[in-house]
Amino acid sequence: MTNTFTYESSLSSRYASKEMSYLFSDQNKYTTWRKLWVALAEAEQSLGLSITDTQIDSMKKNLHELDLHLVAEYEKKLKHDVMAHLHAFGDVCHEAKGILHLGATSCYITDNTDLIQMKSGLEILHHKILVCIRSLNEFAKKYASLACLSFTHFQPAQPTTVGKRACLWIQDLLMDLHDIEEKMHGLRFLGAKGATGTQASFLSLFSGDHNKVKQLDLILAKKLGFERLMPISGQTYTRKQDVRVVSALSNFAATAHKIASDIRLLSHLKELQESFGENQVGSSAMPYKRNPVKSERICGLARFLISIAENPLYTTATQWLERTLDDSSNRRLCIPEAFLTADSVANLLILVLDGLIVNPMKIHKNLFNELPFMATENIIMLCAKKGADRQQLHEALRKHSIQVLESIDQGGSSSELIDKILSDPLFAITREELSMLMKEEQFVGRAPEQVKEFLHEEVHPILKKFEHLTEYKPLVFV
């Protein structure tokens, strides 16, 4: 039940998925802290330290026995969150109390947990972006040859196809997919580096055995699912890792914003629209409205995420020497909010792309209204081949076009240009010839072929690579 007396982020209560919300929940975060303590004890035991199976079993048995009220009491007294949790964990696994956190510093717990959460968050987003690409792949295939008006500066330009436009969206999403995959596999685990990154405490624990200290790091990274270690650190891992991760999320946000903006523009033209629920209300004042509300929401959330991308840069720039603590409170906000926002955007984008409705009749009408003007160059060429003067043809078409454009402003139609050309003796052209020159496929160039080639060469290999990943239907308030 929602608590109406305290602020609750709409990301977790309204937009983000359950899996992403849980990933950054207190329950998961503090359980991961305990998992890191267990992993440390197991690794130290395997390298010869006097840690018993009974102690490790006690830790595992009480892994999920979280008493956050007790933790709060400890933190009120100690003014230190990690120490508060350490005391609370020690209270329930008495046998292991003396070996908990052996040789470690707080950042072994907090930084490595952040990395574990970010890696899992990237995996969730990678899957969801893939779902978006799958939807658009089918969409682009279906509408590969459906000619439509294209726009530069949101003014009518040479026609393209609906499928080709979708491929522009897919191409950006493929870049985001690759970027997120790269960050996912490239994240470096901090490991156990000690108070200033020198591993001095662990070197002391292992009686000066450098090899065992190195092995400890490798064992921990493997246990927690990381392929690579941070070789050099202060007390924390370099915050440039945060910059790279949040940058990848904001890049995806920019892509989603562009796609949603295109859909909003096309919705205004009535060429494309979101699915609209039977009982959905578009406006409290105007009952007829069918606003592209999900696309609008994508744009709003995406802008927020894009603005977050600047934050980790400041944090990275202001880290002092081996560590400073002004990053802690900032990162508690920035990292979860970035992931929850990216997840919210992805959920909405999945829903929008899965339910896109195309209106071919409106697309044809909008295109046909502009085709007479776009066909003028072809008309000049045909008539010139028949012996007419090219410059005279151009001048005549210029005058006719201006008159028709002025007429359109007063409620006229572009078809008036066709009538003017047919009635002008300078243009030795029949209605049949003019109709042939105005066939839609004459204007789309290689767009249909580009769609087929792009899907086959760029998209299908990616879909094949990840075909084991199932479809995803986000259960969020929309």
| Cα–Cα distance list, 96 to 86, 93, 398 (Å) | 11, 6, 89
Instruction: Give CA angle at 184 (178, 187), nearest 5°.
Output: 130
Q: Which 3 state secondary structure label does DSSP give 372?
A: helix
DSSP 157: E
DSSP 12: I
The residue length of the chain stands at 478
Tokens of 31: 């359980």
d(CA 392, CA 372): 18
CB 170 within 8 A of CB 460: no
CB 415 within 8 A of CB 432: no
Coarse DSSP helix, strand, coil percentages of the chain, rounded to the nearest 5 percent:
65, 5, 30
Tokens of 207: 């009686």
d(CA 238, CA 21): 26
Which residue among the candidates 69, 153, 284, 423 is catalytic per the annotation?
Answer: 153
What are residue 326's DSSP bridge partners? none
Which residue among the candidates 10, 275, 283, 307 is catalytic per the annotation?
Answer: 283
- Strand (E) positions, 319-468? 357-358
Q: Answer yes or no: 283 catalytic.
A: yes
d(CA 449, CA 144): 8
d(CA 306, CA 311): 10
d(CA 352, CA 253): 15
169 Cβ partners below 8 Å, 6+ apart? 136, 255, 258, 259, 262
- Strand (E) positions, 250-344? 272-273
Q: Which 3 state secondary structure label does DSSP give 273?
A: strand
Q: What are phi and psi of 273, to 5 degrees?
A: -150, 155
Q: Answer yes or no: 153 catalytic.
A: yes
d(CA 26, CA 7): 17
Q: For strands 228-229 and 188-189, give the pairing.
A: parallel
Spell out the alpha helix ranges (H) of 269-318.
Answer: 293-308, 311-317
Q: Pick the closest to residue 349 from 116, 120, 117, 139 (CA basis).
A: 139
Residue numbers annotated as active site = 153, 283
